[in-house]
Chains A and B, each alone.
Chain A
Amino acid sequence: MTSSTIRSGAGDHAVADPGSPAPRRGDGLAALAFLTPSIITFLVFVLAPTVGVLVLSFYNWNLLSDGTFTGFDNFVRLLHDGRLLGVYGSTAYMALVILAVNVALGLLLAVLLETRMPRWLRGLFRLSFLFPFVVSASAVALIWRFLLNKDLGLVNYLLGLLGADRIDWLGSSAFAPVSVIVVNSWKTIGFSILVYIAGLQSIPKELREAAIVDGAGAWTRFWRITFPLLSPTVFFLVVINTINSFQIFAEPRVLTQGGPGDSSRTIVEYLYDRAFGDFDLGYASAIGITFAMVLVLLTAIQFWFSRRWTFYS
């Protein structure tokens, strides 16, 4: 009997998959009770603000006076904003490098951490990589700001011992985004490593052992066995890190204040300044809506491409 015949010919109790316990009276109520906290949280903290931002994007509102409906004016302004494209550019530059570092370097470090080593050393390494992830981004950035000071910072002092000139890590357009990339990557790579390690540990040892018996070298084992089986993990990290890296705020805010100029400014920082510096909530909302659309588009592209290289066993 096919499942379609079950569905078409039976009542409520017959819809379940074969093998699953049949639903009982009151199950729906219990399910609703369990889901209610999440539903309410979602409605109050996700859906309502999202709808609010969408509505606000059609208004001119400064928080203090009554807003006025302006139709698509805020979206038209986006096209004439002389700084917006530059800020998108600096955001994309920093985000893509952070993404690459997290996905590639994170994988390398995770694989290294899974090699043979004393247990205490492995624990120490894991703790070292994960620790920055659990510390406040602002606190981390404050310390790095001190270390990266051009003339009085420890980093340039150490480089100076090697004979290097002082680098203006926070004050030059070339190096300010690099500093943001380094600090954010240092902070976030622990999460990627953690997820990779979980992925690596879920790969059956027998497969690698069989490959060793068949004479496969380390490189072949990695590309032919480990990486394909790890591809869903890689995909997950690509998606998560893309979204997170495009949304960085604390590091550029504390390290460089987005400067010099807009060289290390991110869209989220720009949006924040329009909303809470200029009190231009409508325009900030329009930036937010379009930025969300960009992220959705990027994620959709990633999902589309993932079908070509992601292997689900």
Chain B
Amino acid sequence: MNIPYRKVALVCATAVLTAAALTSCGSGTDSSSSPASSGGKTLDIAYWNYGPAAESGNKATADAFMAKHPGVKVTLTPVSGENWGTYYANVATLIASGKHPDLMVISGEGAQFVHANNLVLPINSYVDKDPEAKTLLADIAQGLINGFTVKGDIVTLTWGWNDMVVYYNTAVFKKAGIAPPTADWTWDDFKATAKKLTKDTNGDGKPDQYGFTWASNEIFPGIMPWVANAGGNLTSDDVCTATADTPQVNKAVGFLKGLIDEGIAPAPMPMADVFTRFQNGQVAMFGAGRWPIATFLPKFKDFDIQLYPKGDTYKTVFGGAGYPILKSSQNPDLAWEYQKFTVSNEIEEKYVGTPEKPGDSIPSRRSLAQTISKVGVPPLNSDLFYDSIDKYPTLVPYPAPAKYSTFESTVLRYLQKIFAGESSVADGLKGMQSELTSIVTC
């Protein structure tokens, strides 16, 4: 057979290019995530890559662990997601594609999910056997341990957490001549304050500075603190039954709708937009955990925090995060060491942070969290973060059923209609309850 040299070369070149393209395609998606094949032990950790802080924080923890454990190779797998719900979905996709991380970062919303799907190795036996664990647990608020306990199984140690507090713009308060709120304020006080802070600054007859707003795209910093302080919750305590149309939930959602109707609050907007509006003074107060601080500092410092105002009761709404060990882990003992390491002094200090580079969660260990104000990380009222879980024993763990993503999107869908005035509060919550009945189950 007489095949010209040029054609053979062409075929070979094309084959090489094809192979190269496919190879780079295969490895390019997560070249950083292929498990190490060194002689030592390996750990593969999946985390939610919500931004640079997540990447640098996880890398710092992994590097510090490897420095302490020579021969161990920690590989980080960043997983994208627009919120915790989609992050879990993407981790599930990762697992379905054959990858088996040893640990994965989860928030409180994920505890029921990983437990219900039989993904996680409970740490009860480690806690019982390991004396160091007992010391660590004694320094962690009981609420944070309970928040990650499902049917008696401790899903993970919590390295960081957030409770819902009200942020207020101190410059806007000062300009309006209003005293900062105190921890014993009530819904009426809150509403009166918000009303005074709502202003038409450009004289067009319509307000362009509002007293308060809340995140339209999340329940946790959205309606939950109000629902809790009205004495209600969106699910039963065991997260097995929806309770979305109780008088308490009606009262809380009705209160927020009233703020919109009276022109004290603008139409709700997603959290990212709230941050911007708050910093430029268009919104004087909003609710969130500690995470906005990492966005605000070091440039924006005109803010402080206060507990949510008291309704019929006061309850702290909170949620934490941890690194549960997955059942698929090849090195569960090493994974346990890693989990413990995430609540060590060395790592928890990073979550305390510095005034220039603050942590974006509250450290889970009391002794470390109490250093936030001592090292001068704003805001001034930072001690409130841990006090809210230690000194206010009535806690409401964030309701997170196993079908969390569906639960959240359903609640938000009905709230959109209520806050847009297209459905009455009662009818909207009735519809929400009807749909949640089949979603919130055990």
A interface residues (Cβ-Cβ under 8 A, vs B): 25-26, 29-30, 33-34, 36-37, 40, 44, 62-65, 142, 145-146, 149-152, 157, 160-161, 166, 168, 170-173, 257-262, 273, 275-279
| From A36, A160, A170, A258, contact of B267 by CB (8 A) | A170
Closest to A156 in B: B206
Residues of B within 8 A of A275 (CB): 89
Taking a contact as CB atoms under 8 Å apart, the answer to whether B267 and A168 are in contact is yes
- B399-427 CB mask vs A (1 if < 8 Å, else 0) is 00001011001001100110110100000
Q: Is B193 an interface residue when CB atoms closer than 8 A count as contact?
A: no
Taking a contact as CB atoms under 8 Å apart, the answer to whether A149 and B266 are in contact is yes
B interface residues (Cβ-Cβ under 8 A, vs A): 1-4, 7, 10-11, 14-15, 17-18, 21-22, 85-86, 89-90, 92-93, 95-96, 117-119, 204, 206-208, 210, 216-217, 266-270, 272-273, 276-277, 282-283, 403, 405-406, 409, 412-413, 416-417, 419-420, 422
| From B3, B14, B117, B206, contact of A25 by CB (8 A) | B3
Given contacts A64-B92, A149-B266, A149-B269, contact A172 B420 (CB under 8 A): yes
Residues of B within 8 A of A152 (CB): 208, 210, 266, 269, 277, 282-283
Given contacts A151-B208, A173-B417, A277-B85, could you give 10 more A-B pairs where the C-beta distance is less than 8 Å?
A25-B1, A26-B4, A33-B11, A44-B22, A63-B95, A160-B204, A171-B267, A173-B422, A257-B216, A273-B409
Taking a contact as CB atoms under 8 Å apart, the answer to whether A146 and B276 are in contact is yes
| From B22, B117, B216, B266, contact of A151 by CB (8 A) | B266
Taking a contact as CB atoms under 8 Å apart, the answer to whether B422 and A261 are in contact is yes
Closest to A29 in B: B11
Taking a contact as CB atoms under 8 Å apart, the answer to whether B207 and A278 are in contact is no
Residues of B within 8 A of A37 (CB): 14, 17-18, 21
Taking a contact as CB atoms under 8 Å apart, the answer to whether B413 and A261 are in contact is yes
Per DSSP, chain B at the interface is helix
CB of A275, distance to nearest CB on chain B (Å): 8
Given contacts A149-B267, A277-B405, contact A29 B3 (CB under 8 A): yes
Taking a contact as CB atoms under 8 Å apart, the answer to whether A278 and B10 are in contact is no
| From B7, B14, B206, B273, contact of A149 by CB (8 A) | B273
- The docked-state distance in angstroms from the alpha carbon of A26 to that of B6 is 11
Taking a contact as CB atoms under 8 Å apart, the answer to whether A151 and B210 are in contact is yes
Closest to B119 in A: A64
- The docked-state distance in angstroms from the alpha carbon of A142 to that of B10 is 47
- The docked-state distance in angstroms from the alpha carbon of A166 to that of B263 is 12
Closest to B21 in A: A37
Residues of B within 8 A of A145 (CB): 269-270, 273
Taking a contact as CB atoms under 8 Å apart, the answer to whether A33 and B15 are in contact is yes
Closest to A171 in B: B420
Taking a contact as CB atoms under 8 Å apart, the answer to whether B7 and A30 are in contact is yes
- The docked-state distance in angstroms from the alpha carbon of A255 to that of B406 is 19
Closest to B202 in A: A157
Given contacts A26-B3, A26-B4, contact A173 B96 (CB under 8 A): no
CB of A256, distance to nearest CB on chain B (Å): 8
Taking a contact as CB atoms under 8 Å apart, the answer to whether A63 and B273 are in contact is no
Report which residue of A26, A161, A173, A277 has the largest number of chain B beta carbons within 10 angstroms of its beta carbon.
A277
